[in-house]
């Protein structure tokens, strides 16, 4: 079956109380509209049309990296029937089923859409409506059926009678139309109350024309939450989070307190990894197997390989942490960094755009910026790579098996050769040869009796001041 998709995203978003269109509000790091596009993209569509309105420019910019999309513009908000009509020119020449979905329904799943399309094809319907049973149907259009269970029409909440409002089968806003039905969109009449063209009226029109229509009641209320307010957005976020937590738990991921964990929709986590409370995993982050992520950690757009331990209150951004490494607590791994296999980045260490070799240790109170550090290097506490000269950044290179003593400054550009030693408290401004010891300190001078003399002078001054007061 040839399938084309139409996503309706031309709403004004007035109830969101925001200058940002509602379909671009994010849920776990991804715009609502992108969830819908992703769901439809799994269906091998022949064509995808996005109907946009007042916020056309912002929406076009948001989805520009999502493959080929045809855009149709609804210049005035005249309802769903009018919105789909604007998509018709982009569907010229297409023969098959047209799937229509709202852009503010981020929880709709590809599985449900495939099941719905299969039903539409099997029944050979001209129009199919995806419906579900609602516990609180007040805000939905009701599906009306005859005594034999055949769908008659869909009536909107504001137009329903008291008896019709008792019906709990409701319209999800998802439709499948044969492409031959599209011309009937022009027969929809303006609703006198709302002053809009209802797409639901197409069901009644098609019935009068002798076409076959039906409602397929397979959806769940959770899946078809429409996001029109911030409260509904929060509710949708909660459902999406529950889905993600359930998926990862079934995969073998351990959550110590899932309620306080934030996950991006693009996150992937390997089995037997444990996440402690208040962990934030954002962007396109991949975490391997058997990792431990302790409390108050934030990881953004990074790769954490198998067996890594990320200790408390650590921030990792746009970086890679290799297998069996340890980072934190209170560490900051800034963009462009690679932490090598079995390396240790400890307390209050900041790494910026640097490569740290396998087995290397920087255990505390260190800044490593624009550095290339080899394997099995020991970086003493308080070490700083002085990478910026006021105009340009320079590279510090530390080769394999080097020992850097505490409180050392490595003034880039500089190279520390293999197996070299840098004495504690040194300021290194020139290259250090392999296996050499570099020491840069002022000569120590001891003044005998200095403390006694100072104390005697202080006592005399205090005594003199006391006599002056009296």
Handedness of CA 3, 60, 31, 273 (dihedral sign): positive
Secondary structure class of 397 (helix, strand, coil): strand
Considering only CA atoms, which of 272, 295, 353, 287 is closest in space to residue 325?
287
Secondary structure class of 66 (helix, strand, coil): coil
Euclidean distance between CA atoms 226 and 119, whole angstroms: 23
Euclidean distance between CA atoms 286 and 273, whole angstroms: 12
Euclidean distance between CA atoms 51 and 70, whole angstroms: 9
Euclidean distance between CA atoms 393 and 413, whole angstroms: 9
Residue 401 annotated among the catalytic residues of the structure: no
85, 98, 342, 408, 425 from 378: Cα distances, Å: 68, 63, 13, 12, 15
Catalytic residue among 28, 120, 332, 364: 364
Secondary structure class of 264 (helix, strand, coil): coil
Contact predicate 428/438, CB 8 Å: yes
Euclidean distance between CA atoms 37 and 442, whole angstroms: 66
Report residue 164: phi and psi, to 5°. -65, -30
Q: Which positions are annotated as active-site residues?
A: 364
């Amino acid at each position: 079956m040839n399938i084309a998709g139409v996503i309706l995203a031309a709403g004004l978003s007035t109830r969101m109380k925001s200058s940002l269109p509602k379909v671009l509000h994010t849920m776990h790091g991804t715009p609502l509209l992108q969830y819908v596009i992703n769901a439809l993209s799994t269906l091998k569509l022949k064509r995808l049309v996005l109907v946009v309105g007042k916020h056309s420019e912002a929406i076009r910019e948001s989805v520009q990296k999502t493959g080929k999309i045809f855009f149709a513009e609804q210049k005035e908000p005249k309802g769903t029937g009018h919105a789909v009509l604007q998509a018709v020119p982009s569907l010229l020449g297409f023969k098959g089923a047209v799937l229509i979905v709202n852009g503010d329904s981020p929880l709709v799943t590809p599985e449900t859409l495939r099941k719905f399309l299969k039903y539409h094809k099997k029944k050979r319907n001209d129009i199919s409506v995806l419906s579900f049973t609602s516990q609180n149907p007040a805000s939905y259009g009701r599906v009306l059926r005859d005594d034999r269970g055949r769908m008659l029409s869909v009536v909107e909440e504001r137009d329903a009678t008291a008896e019709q409002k008792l019906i709990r089968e409701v319209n999800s806003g998802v439709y499948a139309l044969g492409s031959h039905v599209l011309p009937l969109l022009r027969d929809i009449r303006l609703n006198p109350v709302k002053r809009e063209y209802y797409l639901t009226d197409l069901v009644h029109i098609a019935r009068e024309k002798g076409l076959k229509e039906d409602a397929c009641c397979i959806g769940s209320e959770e899946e078809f939450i429409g996001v029109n307010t911030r409260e509904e957005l929060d509710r949708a976020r909660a459902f999406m989070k529950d889905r993600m937590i359930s998926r990862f738990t079934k995969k073998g991921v351990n959550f110590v307190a899932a309620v306080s964990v934030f996950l991006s929709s693009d996150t992937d986590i390997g089995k037997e990894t444990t996440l402690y409370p208040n962990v934030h995993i954002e962007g396109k982050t991949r975490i391997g197997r058997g990792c431990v992520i302790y409390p108050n950690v934030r990881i953004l757009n990074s790769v954490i390989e198998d067996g890594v331990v990320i200790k408390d209150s650590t921030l990792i951004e746009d970086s890679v942490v290799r297998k069996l490494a340890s980072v934190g607590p209170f560490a900051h791994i800034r963009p462009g960094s690679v932490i090598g296999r079995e390396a240790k980045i400890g307390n209050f260490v900041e790494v910026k755009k640097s490569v740290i070799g396998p087995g290397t240790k920087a255990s505390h109170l260190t800044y490593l910026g624009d550095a290339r550090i080899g394997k099995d290097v020991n970086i003493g506490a308080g070490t700083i790579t002085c990478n910026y000269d006021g105009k340009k950044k320079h590279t510090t290179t530390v080769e394999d098996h080097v020992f850097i003593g505490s409180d050392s400054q490595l003034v880039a550009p500089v190279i520390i050769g293999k197996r070299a030693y840098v004495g504690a408290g040194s300021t290194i401004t020139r290259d250090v040869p392999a296996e050499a010891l570099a020491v840069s300190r002022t000569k120590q001078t001891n003044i005998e009796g200095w403390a006694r003399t100072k104390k005697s002078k202080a006592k005399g001054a205090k005594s003199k001041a006391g006599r002056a007061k009296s």
